[in-house]
Amino acid sequence: MPECQNCDSFVTATYARVFTPPGVENPRVCPNCEDKIRDGSEVRKARSTRSA
């Protein structure tokens, strides 16, 4: 099962397929990450804390 490179949370194979480039199994950041977010093709530090 794929894991987030930032927080080590498990992500679904579908999430990893959609949000990672070809040949990369583990995403750099996931929805569980509170300190980083995806910004286009980049990952940046979150400007504010995220809550569910």
Task: Identify whether 8 is part of a domain.
Answer: no
pLDDT at 52 over 60: no
**How many independent structural domains does the chain possess?**
1
Task: Identify whether 50 is part of a domain.
Answer: no
pLDDT tens digit string along 4-27? Answer: 998 999 999 999 999 888 999 999
pLDDT at 3 over 90: yes
Task: Identify whether 51 is part of a domain.
Answer: no
pLDDT at 40 over 80: no
Task: Identify whether 34 is part of a domain.
Answer: yes
Task: Identify whether 35 is part of a domain.
Answer: yes
Predicted pLDDT at 26: 93
Task: Identify whether 23 is part of a domain.
Answer: yes
Task: Identify whether 6 is part of a domain.
Answer: no
- Which tokens in the block code for residue 14? 């579908």
**DSSP conformation letters of 18-40:** HHS-TT--S-S--TT-SSEEEET
Structural domain for 26, as ranges: 13-45
Please name the helix (run of DSSP H) or strand (run of DSSP E) that holds residue 13, with its range, or none.
helix 13-19
